[in-house]
């Protein structure tokens, strides 16, 4: 996993398009890939919940540790 993370980070450093990404593109190109590399099941809404409500506000992602 560590090698994949390092490779991904290096590819981000070299990608000049990042400065022009909006929030949706950033989520698609960076956040979802990073969460997957870190071992989160991004397709399981019981583990990773997008646009989660907390105290009348919304967070981009909520994470639930399935091992607890």
pLDDT by residue (tens digit) across 10-50? 999 999 999 999 999 999 999 999 999 999 999 999 999 99
Residue 68, pLDDT score: 56
Determine the Cα–Cα distance for residues 46 and 44; give it in Å rounded to an integer.
Answer: 5
Position 68 in a domain: no
Q: Which domain holds residue 16?
A: 2-63
Determine the Cα–Cα distance for residues 36 and 45; give it in Å rounded to an integer.
Answer: 13
CB contact set of 40 (below 8 Å; sequence gap of 6+): 47, 48, 63
Position 32 in a domain: yes
Residue 65, pLDDT score: 82
Residue 1, pLDDT score: 83
pLDDT tops 80 at residue 66:
no
Residue 18, pLDDT score: 92
Number of structural domains (the chain) is: 1
């Amino acid at each position: 996993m560590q090698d994949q993370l390092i490779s991904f980070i290096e590819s981000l450093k070299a990608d000049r398009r990042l400065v022009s990404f909006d929030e949706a593109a950033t989520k698609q190109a960076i956040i979802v890939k990073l969460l997957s590399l870190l071992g989160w099941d991004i397709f399981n809404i019981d583990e990773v919940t997008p646009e989660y409500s907390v105290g009348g506000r919304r967070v981009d992602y909520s994470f639930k540790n399935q091992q607890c």
